[in-house]
Structure 1
Amino acid sequence: MNVFARFFTGLLVLFSVVVNAADDQAAAQLRKQLDAMNTLQGDFVQTTYDKAGVEQERSSGNFMLMRPGKFYWKTLEPMPQLLVSNNKTIWLYDPDLETVNIREFTDDLRETPALLLSADIAQLRKNFSVARTAKDAVTEQYTLTPKVTDGMFQQLTLVFKSGQLAEFAIQDSLGQLTRCVLGNVQRNVALPEENFFFVPPEGVEILND
């Protein structure tokens, strides 16, 4: 599975989190923000930078998220691509290549930034250091750093504006930064379950990881 798929698979496990208790103020504040989201949908602009801060690529599209671990992430520009999960199976559809990559949603995929939305606060604090910064009266930034440094990322940043998830960024072990800015976000609206299941079009090549 490509870097894009691993990255957002990580995010969505993150979106599955149900946090139970906290004795750390930053983790407790993050819990409140995450607990307020059962579904989320909107648009995104995702930009990747190299370790020198030079832009490498940019993509945009729309998304839908639902707890636990369900997501629909559709890239429209510059090349179409669709990533879908029902928390059991992940489909990555590339219409230009006419391929569908299918992967089981296994435990190893939870060893990613998305863990933040799938685990309780005790597990979160066991695996990450959490820092909170109030940027202004309506903006909060949470920086999560893994306590074990041999994983796929070095740091994850979540930015909330007026209680709404507005952007996130992930820095990988090579210093590459991927930043995703969300727009037209709607929270806790009803989303049909069928949005999180994908039927491969006839004639496409099916690849199984």
Structure 2
Amino acid sequence: MQKKIIASLAGKSNMFAKFKSGRLIVGLSLSMALLPSLAHASALEQFKSFVSSTQSAKGEFSQQLVKIDAGKAPKVTSTSSGVFIFARPGKFIWTYQKPYEQVLQADGDKLYIYDKDLNQVTTKSLGNALGSSPAAILFGSNDLEKNFVLKEGQAKDGMEWLEATPKAKDTTFDHIGIGLKDGVPQAMELRDSFGQVSLLTFKNFVKNPPLSTGQFQFVVPKGADVLNQ
């Protein structure tokens, strides 16, 4: 089940079901001027500020898959963690480090899924795969309202929350929540129609880090099998 949630970060749920499953003075002045207002801004205001000011970012993530059954207490069924880096639009490296290693990487044209245990790489045209997926929130274009209906949620856990509902009817997730604080995403809640919730939390989030040439160019590991879809 965790594999399904992992894969859905880059598209529809059945896409990867068979795999294991980012002018100094002026800039600083502007950032300092924005901080007080962002601390009290609504989730939507914070999110729009984040989208307009963030071309790339990097950080760390942790993920919990929670099963919710009627009449029963929520149950954490799996946990994972790793690091990410992205550059809009459609370029990212999402690396799971624990409990096993797996890399989802996109160069803007193709998506690569590398399973270290199997030493296997699967490639797929990125195309419109981001679309209304949760990945579009972080990695996609700035035109998010084209694919999502955005509205204010309730504040909780010290964050202002934004609710994003995909406009498309054939997406994996029915609802996506984005928790923001000081103008930066701190958490995401991904709810599907099967009573499952994937909880993502972010830390050490760095906006617009320096990127090296060819940062998102995927290099097939030596000896790896390559499957094209």
Q: TM-score range by the shorter chain?
A: 0.7 to 0.9
Specify which of 143, 163, 169 is matched with residue 143 of structure 1.
163
Cα RMSD after superposing both structures:
2.5
The corresponding residue for 1:81 is 102
The corresponding residue for 1:161 is 181
Identity, in percent, stands at 28
Letter in 1 for 2:151: A
CA distance in structure 1 between the aligned counterparts of 2:210 and 2:121, rounded to whole angstroms: 27
Q: Shift of residue 134 of structure 1?
A: 6.3
Letter in 2 for 1:189: P
Higher strand share: 1
Q: Shift of residue 187 of structure 1?
A: 0.8
User: Could you say if the C-alpha distance between residues 67 and 146 of structure 1 is closer, same or farther in structure 2, counting changes exceeding 3 Å?
Assistant: closer
Unmatched runs of 5 consecutive residues or more in structure 1: 16-24
Q: Shift of residue 6 of structure 1?
A: 3.6
CA distance in structure 1 between the aligned counterparts of 2:93 and 2:43, rounded to whole angstroms: 29
Between the two proteins, the alignment pairs up a number of residues equal to 192
Q: Shift of residue 99 of structure 1?
A: 0.5
Q: Shift of residue 168 of structure 1?
A: 1.1
CA distance in structure 1 between the aligned counterparts of 2:61 and 2:144, rounded to whole angstroms: 27
The corresponding residue for 1:55 is 76
The aligned runs of 1:1-209 (5 Å cut-off) are 3-10=4-11, 30-52=47-69, 53-116=74-137, 117-118=140-141, 120=143, 123=146, 127-133=147-153, 135=155, 139-209=159-229
Q: Shift of residue 107 of structure 1?
A: 1.8
Letter in 1 for 2:223: G
Q: Shift of residue 29 of structure 1?
A: 5.4
CA contact (8 A) 2:132 2:168 kept: no
User: Could you say if the C-alpha distance between residues 164 and 95 of structure 1 is closer, same or farther in structure 2, counting changes exceeding 3 Å?
Assistant: same
CA contact (8 A) 2:64 2:79 kept: yes
CA contact (8 A) 1:71 1:196 kept: yes
Unmatched runs of 5 consecutive residues or more in structure 2: 12-21, 23-41
User: Could you say if the C-alpha distance between residues 41 and 139 of structure 1 is closer, same or farther in structure 2, counting changes exceeding 3 Å?
Assistant: same
User: Could you say if the C-alpha distance between residues 192 and 142 of structure 1 is closer, same or farther in structure 2, counting changes exceeding 3 Å?
Assistant: same
